[in-house]
Structure 1
């Protein structure tokens, strides 16, 4: 997992140069995904909450706060809202309410805008639709333990079914299933399923085996890489730019070059794979590699504490 010889910052630096030449997709999901599904989720959520409020006019902020009061009541407390999928659902709700009070139209179905990796053909795997539906629902049931357990179990099972169906399509060599951005979105859906499992463990104090579908993560080798250019021509331009670049770029290129001396089929594809692999490694880096500590992390979220508008009129 990850690039042992190529630091993520070096891969990202080379990708910024390569994408100017050949605009291959940005595989990095919304920072909310890996920041809030982490051991420091409550801190990231609090910062996001304040940032969203600060971006609004006084009238918009009043409507935003009223929207939260309508959903969570006068107490403004969200059970386990500072951790995991509940925290992620709150971040999504903040963004949705902010768009609405600005007068923007926001769909209440389909992939959550901006959360998953954009696919230029508009295709998203079933995982994305299931996860989006669940995250939209969570704020409305967060303070109802019975309903939260029932719905979380139902959506967790559906995400497992979604992944089993996707695996079969891959086995049948359905090409769209191996698209690079689709693979990232499938992986995000997998980790939301794992996060639901962790959330259920927090609620029920379950100590048995957790859902583990990480082993089935899509490898980088079999994917279709969407390089929107002539690879050979792009390689020549990329290598020329690196040759005439600064020391920082030269060092990044050296650290990310294959150590065996093997020249990749195309350098642009090689860099795309490096960035892709780093994205796949994000959940482990965020602290989810240690589920015991993640389950032990139980924190409610007080919406009143950081509200920039008076909560109770």
Structure 2
């Protein structure tokens, strides 16, 4: 008779919780901020964030918050196309940072890192630093169409070059460059690139051809297949063989945690496969492909967006 080496859901749950508590659950997904702010509902999403942040402030903090924004806007109360796509996303990051400056200065809360949250951390690529530089310059350029167009053209080119280089390094498992951080940076960087190019078109040549969405959609599927194969190779579980001894869970290179979960050595492969499927399902990796498809299908409607952003300088105003 053969030995039954299937594993129990409880064993997988325990190891998953350990990886979660250790901050090791892989994240290569499309960030929710990009989904909402690079969409047909971008203006509403930005207004909701702006109102919510102000509701959480005192009257004095709201006044200072809007005063700081007024200064960043170059003394204007309106930002051209501020409720649209890449400009709305840059404003959202600015709101988050300035709001923390007003409400989190006591030191009880660390400063937010929205760029890191959206585009990942680490030295996998220069995408995060490119985005950070772009977002810092958008508020000062937004009300000057020629300056804004030149800025977008420059950074669209930088993003495209970095995305092509990163994808090339990740395309094959043998290249050794694929990782959760790399896939996340590529997926989110590609989403932003589409809308950076789109806003440049909006300001300069609305009839210019747009094939980025289709191109990224075609590239996403094989990359995610490679990413799944990567996790199947990197996730390793070594059992705690005796009471009091520690086992080891490796999720990715240099990302591991000790554990006290006991299981038979022959269960190892089944546990590893189950953990990989859990990691993949929790990330909703299809959101990236859906975003690229939506950007392509709704291209004309996205191009037609014109919403500006208006500061509410009366600090008594509430929504």
User: TM-score when scaled to structure 1?
Assistant: 0.72
Q: Does 1:216 align with 2:242?
A: no
Q: Which residue of 1 aligns with 2:41?
A: 40
Residues 1-313 of structure 1 mapped to structure 2, 5 A cutoff: 19-20=16-17, 22-23=19-20, 24-73=25-74, 75-101=76-102, 102-103=104-105, 112-117=115-120, 119=121, 122-170=122-170, 173-175=174-176, 177-212=177-212, 213-214=215-216, 215-217=218-220, 219-223=223-227, 224-225=230-231, 230-231=236-237, 266-274=273-281, 275-284=283-292, 287=295, 289-304=297-312, 309=315
Paired with 1:187 and 1:55, the residues of 2 have a C-alpha distance of: 32
Paired with 2:311 and 2:291, the residues of 1 have a C-alpha distance of: 26
Contact persistence 1:77–1:300 (CA under 8 A) = yes
Higher relative contact order (CA 8 A, sep 6+): 1
- Cα–Cα, structure 1 residues 93 and 111, in superposed 2: closer, same or farther, change >3 Å? closer
More displaced stretch, 35-44 vs 280-289? 280-289
Paired with 2:49 and 2:300, the residues of 1 have a C-alpha distance of: 26
Larger-Rg structure: 2
Contact persistence 1:37–1:85 (CA under 8 A) = yes
Paired with 2:15 and 2:297, the residues of 1 have a C-alpha distance of: 31
Paired with 1:60 and 1:267, the residues of 2 have a C-alpha distance of: 49
Deviation at 1:136, TM superposition (A): 2.0
Deviations 1:239-289 (A, max 9, x none): xxxxxxxxxxxxxxxxxxxxxxxx997122123333352232352476553
- Cα–Cα, structure 1 residues 16 and 264, in superposed 2: closer, same or farther, change >3 Å? closer
Deviations 1:148-188 (A, max 9, x none): 0101000001111112222342357442x310232022111
User: TM-score when scaled to structure 2?
Assistant: 0.70
The alignment yields a C-alpha RMSD, in angstroms, of 3.3
Deviation at 1:297, TM superposition (A): 1.6
Number of equivalences: 261
- Cα–Cα, structure 1 residues 156 and 60, in superposed 2: closer, same or farther, change >3 Å? same
Paired with 1:21 and 1:151, the residues of 2 have a C-alpha distance of: 45
Contact persistence 1:27–1:276 (CA under 8 A) = no
Contact persistence 1:231–1:268 (CA under 8 A) = no
Can you give the 5+ residue segments of structure 2 that lack an aligned partner in the other structure? Answer: 1-11, 240-269
Specify which structure has the higher proportion of strand: 2
More displaced stretch, 54-63 vs 196-205? 54-63
Contact persistence 1:82–1:300 (CA under 8 A) = yes
Can you give the 5+ residue segments of structure 1 that lack an aligned partner in the other structure? Answer: 1-14, 234-262
Paired with 2:300 and 2:91, the residues of 1 have a C-alpha distance of: 23
